[in-house]
Every structure is written in structure tokens, then in C-alpha cells.
Amino acid sequence: MSLPIQINSQNFTLHPSGAIFWIEKSMLLIADVHLGKVAHFRKHGAAIPSHVAFENLEKLTEVTNHFQPESVCFLGDLFHSTLNSEWNDFAKWIEYTSANVILISGNHDIIPPYLFEDLGVQIYEELKLDNFLLTHHPTVVESSFNFCGHIHPGVKLQGFGRQNVRLACFFKSENQLILPAFGNFTGKYTLKPSKKDEVYVIADDQVIQVTA
């Protein structure tokens, strides 16, 4: 179940995949897919099932089919490593989608930009849209609200019986929202929210707001 929120008079939908749909712009925001990571680790001997690599592209297809966005903006770390077998699968996905595809370069995006551009992907270091700033690394800029990734945010929740669970989350502070990692083969960095922060955890295919 998705969750609608409003920021600076604009409407957004937080999706349990980890994506955000910006309604007024018909833009899907996605952070830290890390395509190619499974193939990279398998190449170096890690015992990871090959089908794990396809799950990210299946997830991308599902969320784009659901929202039918005019554009998809990846907030960095789209591809984890140098070229490997997963690049061809990504190229086929680009052919499949009718949306314009934008990449905000992340620290793992080391593939030459012209290869993305040959697929029709637009590349930026950052992108300013109205009073919103789209980046990979969390960035504070006066008079702008920042959407970003990089952190792979998670929070630790504790129950009355001392049981605890760590969940991926959308982490919103006054002028910033950090998206969870979209990729299924990524870790989580546990953040400790203050009372001013808003945390939206992903659990059981739902987005749920929790308090600090």
C-alpha cells in the first residue's frame, strides 16, 4: 500500500518498492538500484543465485507499469560496477519503457557517460526542478528541498517484548528526503530520527509512518 504526502504544495506517492512518484511532474524517483552488483560479486566467486539480478529489473518494470510516468529519474548508483552481463538486460529495459530516463550520477556510476547517452539516458550531476534539488549525495541548499539517496536509510524498531527489527525507510527531515535503496542486494544504514524527522518504513508491502 502506497502513502501520499505533500511537500512544498506538491504531491508525492511513497511506494513500497522504495520509489517516489511526483504527481505534478509525472516523474518516478528511484535511488540506488545497483544493477550489475550481483554479476560483479558472482564473477569474484560469491555464491549468489543468478536470478537475484533479474529481480531488480522486474521490480523496475512493475513500478513503471503501475505509475506510467513520463520520466524516471535515478538518483545515483544505478549501475554498481564496470560493464558486465547485466548491462545488456538494462539496455533491453530501456527499450521497453516509454518514459524518459534521467540519471543523477552517483559514486558507483563509473560506466562512461556516452554509453548511457547512447541508450537515450540523460545524465546530470544534479537537477533543479522548481524549488526541489535532485542529487545522489544528501545536499543542503538554501531555499531548496532535496531528494537524494546514497545512505540506504533504515531504522530500528523495538517492540514491548524487547524484540526489534530493522526496516528500510524513507527518511524525511525539514528540507530533505532520503530514499531507501531500490536494489534488493543492498544493505541498510541505521539512522536515529529526531522528533522533528518523519520516518516512513517499508513493511509487508506497505509504507507506514512511524514516530521517533
> What pLDDT does 54 receive?
66
pLDDT at 144: 97
**Range of the structural domain that residue 149 is part of:** 3-210
pTM of the model: 0.91
What confidence score (pLDDT) does residue 37 get?
58
| 135/4 Cα distance (integer angstroms) | 22
- Over the chain (212 residues), the average pLDDT of each successive run of 10 is 97 98 98 72 48 77 97 92 79 94 92 94 97 97 95 86 84 97 82 94 96 68
The total number of structural domains that make up the chain: 1
CATH of the domain at 150: 3.60.21
> What is the chain written as a DSSP string?
--EEEEETTEEEEE-TTS-EEETTTTEEEE----BTHHHHHHHTT----THHHHHHHHHHHHHHHHH--SEEEE-S-SB-SSS-THHHHHHHHHHH--SEEEEE--TT--S-HHHHHHTT-EEES-EEETTEEE-SS----TT-EEEE-SS-EEEEEE-TTS-EEEEEEEEEETTEEEPPP--SS---EE----TT-EEEEEETTEEEEE--
The length of the chain in residues reads 212
| Max CA pair span of the chain | 55
pLDDT score recorded for residue 52: 56
Q: Give the model's pLDDT for residue 165.
A: 87
